[in-house]
Structure 1
């Protein structure tokens, strides 16, 4: 992803072509139709990442490295706008928060929560590298009821986060089965109990965070897995809890994505309007699941 607040895509492409050498192969994907469809117009497609992190252009914050699929829930379903307040959960090391900031030219307020000190330190480094000023980090357990209330109390701050955020993004901990292409061992390291544990964890995160989104606001739920236990079953189970005043919003493939896939003669699988899945063959990328919950207006 090109960081347009620091460099144009044209100038970055020129730098990469000059300084990023990968002998014996063309490092840039030749599939330009994705750009023409404006699906990922702010991206440069690179086949081989070897040595990319060592470039001065990376250290200077000219770009971030991100899979296509992980950009879709932010760009098309969260759709961050200038002036919005966004709660980013399980957000470290910060790739999706950086995309939110980039999409609004740094003009939205993002509070990112993670439970891991190590991952938050990586997040801080990414914020520094990219020069982002609108992301605030908190260490907290997003699955615990009242986690933001406790933060305010423990730090002797006034005010409240209840009904505060326009949008909440949940990058839920999951089995990561959608990343098998780059993490092949993951399919051997998970069992049924793990999947149920991830599902219960997601339920707790959404339940504890519902109070912080304002009426009419949305919670976007995302995983990088295709496990129905963690995805469809979990989100439908949650939607049945009417006490939280949340309902599933109908979602579907963005029109621009449908057009691209039709041109490529890729058939979208039949699925419920309650959720949307990106399958690996769509873009030769990771798989992902996304659903949108809307808080009812009283």
Structure 2
């Protein structure tokens, strides 16, 4: 049995660096970073401070992996032949040394050598010791000396070249540099106030009483940024006064312009953040309701649970259904409003899910465009004349955004682009009335929103 497959030992469970290595091994084999990190934290025996340190190392290595690999390459003849755990040990060591000012270099080196000794054999310990000392003696290679500007930016910001090329094509070199740098900033902890149960002022008061530092969102009037605590563990969360949601994601629902008595379709709804936001505009006593669809049963259950926690279950109906087969459940029915938060490449979420930068390709976006158009085509006939359909993605790839809208409109002359609603004074609506919000603007996820109106049958 190889070293990376052995059970986690007792000493590792008390060592944040060793547990970070374990987590990164799993992520490299396809596990989601947030899920794997949570699973490892549950197995560990760490203080809150060490959990924070372990989390910082895991996300830091994932965010900066291309840079770290560039630094390591001159010192290891065949880096791909290293045991996976040894490779990740070098990654966390380089990250601490170069990015964490408060961690002394001696502690970084000593701890790495200690882990190499305990988890490996004497040959690995000697190799790790020699490599770290060679790095210290010779210095790390300077990324500024990479002559190709695209490759240089790719290595410096740890973004694959195809993403750099795409951003340059869409935004130009100078803006791309700002976007790329912003992606590696830590994401803010954001929440949406559930106005079905509380006003924004009431939610802020409750959170501040619990010890949170609360800042109102610059992006959404119902958005908050929270510090000094874990929002999902708060009384305000448990009582349904808030729910976790990125500020940019809060922008889709207002463009629907919902009245209390409307019937709304949320075509790709899980985990229910936007479904429950839609529900805050509805009144069940006036016949207002939202039908929320998802293809997976367990996610449909999650939508229902969120609706119950937020006190809007009386106006939410969750269904296990592929939106492309909407006629199977709603053959002769129509809706006043339709929301399509489409499945997408998710590149706007790189702050929160940094590993996806290494997993996605442009072909993924091409394939996703087909699915996105299939969903739009399927739900289009379900919208009443004069009704609004809001389409959105959490990506910045035009193939999945502007191009999808243009292809849809070319095939549906009975739809037109309507102005997307932005409730605060933000510079995110283009000349076509489409919303593009990027991570470098307000510190949110990247998001695209288009509002369409059905003009005739």
Common fold by TM > 0.5? yes
Say which is worse superposed, 280-289 or 170-179, in terms of deviation.
280-289
Name the structure 2 match of 1:167.
Answer: 337
Name the structure 2 match of 1:224.
Answer: 394
After superposition, what is the alpha-carbon deviation per residue over 1:223-275, rounded to whole angstroms, capped at 9, x for unaligned? 01010111111211111113xx5323143673x54xx34xxxxx658x44062
Find the residue that maps to 2:399 and give its secondary structure.
coil
Name the structure 2 match of 1:155.
Answer: none
* Equivalent of residue 14 in structure 1, options 192, 201, 205: 205
**Larger radius of gyration, structure 1 or 2?**
2
Query: Do 1:252 and 1:273's aligned partners in 2 also have CA atoms closer than 8 Å?
Result: no
How many angstroms does 1:97 deviate by?
A: 1.2
Find the residue that maps to 1:103 and give its secondary structure.
coil
Query: Do 1:172 and 1:223's aligned partners in 2 also have CA atoms closer than 8 Å?
Result: yes
Name the structure 2 match of 1:43.
Answer: 223
Name the structure 1 match of 2:272.
Answer: 94
* Equivalent of residue 300 in structure 2, options 120, 125, 129: 120
Structure 1 or 2: more helix by fraction: 2
Aligned pairs (5 A) from 1:1-298: 1-20=192-211, 27-29=213-215, 34=218, 40-47=220-227, 50-75=229-254, 77-104=255-282, 108-132=288-312, 133-144=314-325, 147-148=326-327, 150-151=328-329, 160-161=332-333, 164-242=334-412, 245-251=413-419, 254=422, 256-257=423-424, 260-261=425-426, 271-273=430-432, 275-298=434-457
Find the residue that maps to 1:81 and give its secondary structure.
coil
Query: Do 1:246 and 1:293's aligned partners in 2 also have CA atoms closer than 8 Å?
Result: no
> Runs of 4+ in structure 1 displaced over 4 angstroms?
none
How many angstroms does 1:103 deviate by?
A: 2.8
After superposition, what is the alpha-carbon deviation per residue over 1:150-182, rounded to whole angstroms, capped at 9, x for unaligned? 226xxxxxx821xx2111100000011111111
Structure 2, unmatched stretches of 5+, are 1-191
Say which is worse superposed, 123-132 or 56-65, in terms of deviation.
56-65
Looking at structure 2, the residues matched to 297 and 6 of structure 1 have their Cα atoms a distance apart, in angstroms, of 37
After superposition, what is the alpha-carbon deviation per residue over 1:67-112, rounded to whole angstroms, capped at 9, x for unaligned? 111111111x112111111111111111111111113455621111
Query: Do 1:231 and 1:289's aligned partners in 2 also have CA atoms closer than 8 Å?
Result: yes
Aligned pairs, number = 263
After superposition, what is the alpha-carbon deviation per residue over 1:22-71, rounded to whole angstroms, capped at 9, x for unaligned? xxxxx333xx583xxxx6333332146x5221223312212111111111
Q: Given the superposition, is the C-alpha separation of residues 85 and 33 from structure 1 closer, same or farther in structure 2, using an over 3 Å criterion?
A: closer
Looking at structure 2, the residues matched to 54 and 7 of structure 1 have their Cα atoms a distance apart, in angstroms, of 18
Q: Given the superposition, is the C-alpha separation of residues 135 and 253 from structure 1 closer, same or farther in structure 2, using an over 3 Å criterion?
A: closer
Name the structure 1 match of 2:88.
Answer: none
Looking at structure 1, the residues matched to 214 and 357 of structure 2 have their Cα atoms a distance apart, in angstroms, of 30
How many angstroms does 1:125 deviate by?
A: 1.1
TM-score, length-normalised on structure 1?
0.80
Structure 1, unmatched stretches of 5+, are 22-26, 153-158, 262-266
Query: Do 2:283 and 2:289's aligned partners in 1 also have CA atoms closer than 8 Å?
Result: no
Query: Do 1:68 and 1:283's aligned partners in 2 also have CA atoms closer than 8 Å?
Result: no
TM-score, length-normalised on structure 2?
0.53
